[in-house]
Each structure stands twice: as structure tokens, then as C-alpha cells.
A and B are shown apart, each in its own frame.
Chain A
């Protein structure tokens, strides 16, 4: 897979992941116990931390491949998608 394709894939993955995170967080903030939204903040920083660690490791080992970053981004996307699916009933009801 070409470097440009991977770069575009990474940007799209992070963009979709961000949108899903925003939707999940919005629903959690509308819950009867909105403090539960702090879980979304923790998840956000874990995902960001993993991405930063991968980028830094990639730089320190002088590797050029984007695959590890893409995999970490995809893992974040899966986590946010899982949250979206769990919250889908509330999203459908307009909360």
C-alpha cells in the first residue's frame, strides 16, 4: 500500500474516529448522570497517548512505515465505533 494511500487512510480514520467520539460524548452528556462523560475523556486521552507513543517510537527507531500508526488509529476507531453501537438506541431517540 502506497505511502499516500496510508496517509489519507490515517487522516480519514482519525476524522471518523473523532466524529464518533463526539457523538458518543454528546449522548453521555445527555444521560441522567452526565458525569459518565468523563469516561469518554479518559478514552480520548488513552487513544491520543497511544497515537503519540506510536509516532514518537516511529521517530526514535527511524522507521518510515505508517502501518503501526494506522493500526493504532484503527483500534481507536473500533473502540469509538463500539461505543457508538452501544449508545445507538439513545442516539436514535435523539438524546
Chain B
């Protein structure tokens, strides 16, 4: 059936307007989904922002004073969101609960439990004792069976150079 010219124009403009509205709805849904339905927080990102800096005004202050109490006091990683810091023998049961293991001035570890994978993720900052300007961050993960405690994050256990997928 052949439509009259005016109807053809109406169909065309309606189709274009409909397509634009659908595009706008998709764009809005994209933002709403990212803002409000992003799923549980990532344990690994909580661990990343939990790592404190041992440098104050260019002076090396060591890592061992960054205990759970100290990190709570200085609101470490507050830009990520509220994080609860607990001592190395208290298990993390959620991503925003970080079990801290301040081992020595040059070694600091932590663990956080992921709701996404039901695994425990570990992070370890290991600095060079002769020159703490240098060092590396290591990553590890544990199965969900054991306790997710910071005490498991040591130089011997956390050796991965790459962050595992969460």
C-alpha cells in the first residue's frame, strides 16, 4: 500500500523522533545502571585504596605503624567509601572490611573478602629495606574456604605481580 506524501513524512519524522528518544533512554539507563546498580563493591579496589603511603614530607616513616586503628583514625581510602579496618587476626567478611597486617617498616599486607567471587583477596606492599624508595605491590587470592585474615598476607604467600580477576 502506498502512503500519501504527508503520511510518509509523518512516518519518517516519527521514526526519527522515536529513534532519538530510544537512544536517549539507553544513554540515561547506562548512567543510572552505573550509578545505582553497579553490584557489590570490589574487594580489590578497597585493598588498593587501603595501602597507605610511608612518606610524610619526604621522610620515610615506615609501614608498621599503619595498623587497623591508625588507618581508621586517618580515614585511609575514604575517597573510595567507608572502609572498616580490623586487625590481622580478625577475618574480613565483606569487601569494605579490610584485615590489616602491618608486618614491619618495609612490609604491609591486607586481606578483603569479595562478595562477587566469594574469595579472599590479598595485597602486599614490599619495600626495599636498603632503599624504601623502591618496592613493589604484590597480589594474591585464597579460596573462600579459609578465613580471610590479614595475617595470611606475607612476603612468602603474596607473590603475584598481577592483580587477579575479581
Contact = CB atoms under 8 A, between A and B. Distances in A.
B31 interface: yes
A18 interface: yes
A18 B23 contact: yes
Nearest to B18: A52
B129 interface: no
Interface string A5-29: 0000000000000100110010001
B27 A44 contact: yes
Contact of A48 (B9, B23, B34, B35): B23
Contact of B24 (A38, A48, A62): A48
A78 interface: no
A12 to B, nearest CB: 15
A40 B24 contact: no
Contacts of A48: 20-21, 23-24
Contacts of A34: 34-35
A: interface residue count bin = 20 to 34
B: interface residue count bin = 10 to 19
A41 interface: yes
Contact of B35 (A21, A35, A52): A35
Contacts of B27: 21-22, 25, 41, 44
Contacts of A22: 27, 30
Interface of B is mostly: helix
Given A25-B30, A37-B35, A44-B27, A59 B9 contact: yes
Given A44-B24, A45-B24, A48-B20, A55 B31 contact: no
A65 interface: no
B12 to A, nearest CB: 8
Nearest to B5: A62
B136 to A, nearest CB: 20
Contacts of B24: 44-45, 48
25 contacts: A18-B23, A21-B27, A22-B30, A25-B27, A25-B30, A25-B31, A29-B34, A29-B35, A38-B31, A40-B31, A44-B24, A44-B28, A45-B24, A48-B21, A48-B23, A48-B24, A51-B20, A52-B20, A52-B21, A55-B13, A55-B16, A55-B17, A56-B13, A59-B9, A62-B9
- Closest CB pairs A-B (n = 8): A59-B13, A48-B24, A29-B34, A44-B27, A48-B20, A52-B17, A37-B31, A41-B31
Given A45-B24, A48-B24, 15 more contacts: A18-B23, A21-B27, A22-B30, A25-B27, A29-B31, A34-B34, A35-B35, A37-B34, A37-B35, A40-B31, A41-B28, A44-B24, A45-B28, A51-B20, A58-B13
